[in-house]
Amino acid sequence: LWDMEDTMPTTVERALEALGLTDLNPGGFAGSWMGGGRPQQVVSPVDGQPLASVENVDRDAFEAILARCSEAFLVWRRVPAPKRGEVVKELGLELARNKEALADLVTLEMGKTRREALGEVQEMIDICDFAVGLSRQLYGLTMPSERGRHRIQEQWHPLGVVGVITAFNFPVAVWSWNTAIALVCGDTVLWKPSSRTPLTAVACTRLAERVLRRMGYDPAVCSLVIGRGSEIGDLINTDPRVALVSYTGSVPGGRHVGRLVQERFGRHILELGGNGAVIVSEKGDLDTALRAVYFGAIGTAGQRCTSTRRVIIHASIYDTFVARLQDLYGRTPIGDPRDDKQLMGPLVDAGAVDTMMAAIEAVKAQGGSIRCGGERLDLPGGCYVTPCLAEVRPSMPIVREETFAPVLYLMRYETIEEAIRIQNDVPQGLSSAIITNDLREAELFTSPEGSDCGLANVNTGTSGAEIGGAFGGEKETGGGRESGSDAWKAYMRRQTSAINYSGGVELAQGIVLEI
Ligand code: UN1
């Protein structure tokens, strides 16, 4: 017998009810909820239906929120780091309890498949675990002093308010990478989500609010500002009370943020464009290559910064590999992302579909050819497409651009050095991979002469980076690092202290003072 409840497609009402949320208006928070700006209707890319309306913050609300978030920092920085870790531990547990409902909301609001949305929430839980451990490991160094009875130590101190500006494609995970780390580091967070995904942002902030209140801390530690256009973002970028701006988005967006924040000598972490490539060697396992490339290219409908956009295939296996990939492309289940049978949901909006079609036209105009896909599908909402395989030459300008859609560029190579050259010959430098069982090729790829990206994988695809490593990339990707390893250092200020316990005064560098 079917359980009718469980076969019903998820609705926004069901997801919100499961999260214990009813009213999502307004979209600003720092201890209390406020808005004041124009309400905006959120439309689901899944079926084009309205989900809810959220009120943007106006300038007055922004000012009140930033003031409260800065005030909260003065107390939060005094809480011992392992105690701050306990809060993050509870946040992780709260996220785990609400995993399904939050994933449903992610799917409804930005259109990624349910299994990928569950993966995104899992990333949030994982980074909380990581940060809890980190809360007892914010190690500084000590160094030998050149002077007698002196010692030198460094400590890591909380920085202040961290402005977190996130993109639509990972509407909740990117907030969590920044927030879990910032919180154990003693910072407070002011989040500005993509204006396409305000509902999931309100939901996450409500969950954090619940945890902070329950544990007796100021909920303004996790503050929120929702705003359309660049006005609210620029208030964050230009305000010296925001010590660090962590921005995920486009290259032009990052250039703008970087300039404004640098102008006031603030700090920034920039996570900008990717143009991921996989080198498929004739010495690699073809099945591994197919799976890695296929998921990397069509996962999240090609809307990850780590998506695979280029495959560089050894000439001797080019025809076989492309034929098998084309077969997979032709059988891709595309449709309502709430249905677990689908591998690809919609693009985020009609504009994204137009951008994809424009890239396909550019391929043709520049002398490339379309092997398959790239059609609009007549499904509710109008944002569904078939994934596209395009045969190109590395020198075509379109190949150097990041098109945030499932268009995969196919290229061939003869030598491994040539493959690495093609891989590196783009302005972006986020994610890359090689599929090979040849030790020398793999080592060359990850060596100083190899991939110039922040992520360089062997025998696994470009997307799906784990939170334990530092995440980010070079060149136009912006150079920032988030989440694991020692990325936490960007969220703290380093203080070096020379301590003299000699009873006298000895100057450094041997300087003698005669008074
Ligand atoms: C992004 O696309 O903005 O590596 C982040 C991945 C994910 C994160 C992607 N862990 O695909």
Rounded to the nearest angstrom, the distance between the alpha carbon of 420 and the centre of ligand 1 is 23
- Which residue of 124, 169, 303, 305 sits with most ligand 1 atoms within 8 Å of its CB, as the best mutation to test the pocket? 305
Span between the terminal Cα atoms of the chain, in Å: 96
How far is residue 53's CA from residue 39's CA, in Å, rounded to a whole number? 6
Element (H, E) at 91: helix 81-97
Q: Whose CA is nearest to atom 3 of ligand 1?
A: 305
**Which of 300, 306, 457 is the best mutation target for the ligand 1 pocket, counting ligand atoms within 8 Å of the beta carbon and taking the most?**
306
Instruction: Locate all alpha helices (DSSP H) within 401-454, ordered by sequence.
Output: 416-424, 439-445
| Contact assessment for residue 189 and residue 222, using Cβ atoms and an 8 Å cutoff | yes
Beta bridge partners of 500: 150
91 vs 166: CA distance, rounded Å: 19
Strands laid side by side in the 492-500 sheet: 142-144, 150-158, 492-500
Pocket of ligand 1 contains residue 465 by CB under 6 Å: yes
Is any ligand 1 atom within 6 A of the Cβ of residue 306?
Answer: yes
Rounded Cα–Cα distance for residues 190 and 89 (Å): 20
Closest ligand 1 atom number to CA of residue 248: 3
**Nearest alpha carbon, ligand 1 atom 7:** 464
Cβ of 464 below 6 Å from ligand 1: yes
Among residues 204, 222, 305, 388, the one annotated as catalytic is: 305
How far apart are the CA of 237 and the centre of ligand 1, in A?
24
Catalytic residue among 90, 123, 209, 271: 271
- What local confidence, expressed as pLDDT, does residue 2 receive? 40
Pocket test for ligand 1, best of 304, 404, 428, 482 (most atoms within 8 A of CB): 304
Report how far ligand 1's centroid is from the alpha carbon of 239 (Å): 28
CA of 499 to the centre of ligand 1 (A): 44
Give the pLDDT means over successive 10-residue stretches in the chain (515 positions).
53 89 86 94 96 95 98 98 98 98 97 98 98 98 97 98 98 98 98 97 97 98 95 97 98 98 98 98 98 98 98 98 98 97 97 98 98 98 98 98 98 98 98 98 98 98 97 98 98 98 94 90
372 in active site: no
Per-residue burial over 177-195, b = 16 or more CB atoms within 10 Å of its CB, e = otherwise? bbbbbbbbbbbbbbbbbbb
338 lines ligand 1 (CB under 6 A): no
Q: What distance in angstroms lies between residue 269's CA and the mean position of ligand 1's atoms?
A: 15
Mapping DSSP onto H, E and C, the string for 273-316 reads CCCEEEEECCCCCHHHHHHHHHHHHHHHHHCCCCCEEEEEEEHH
Helix (H) or strand (E) holding 31: none
Burial of 71 (C-beta count, 10 Å sphere; 0-12/13-18/19+): middle
HEC readout, 456-511? EEECCCCCCCCCCCEECCEECCCCCCEECCCHHHHHEEEEEEEEECCCCCCCHHHC
Cα(304) to centroid of ligand 1, in Å?
Answer: 6
Nearest atom, ligand 1, residue 455 CA? 4
pLDDT of the residue at 8: 56
477 Cβ closer than 6 Å to some ligand 1 atom: no
Tokens matching residue 13: 């009402």
CB of 113 within 6 A of ligand 1: the answer is no
Using a 6 Å cutoff on CB, does residue 170 contact ligand 1? Answer: yes
pLDDT at 6: 54
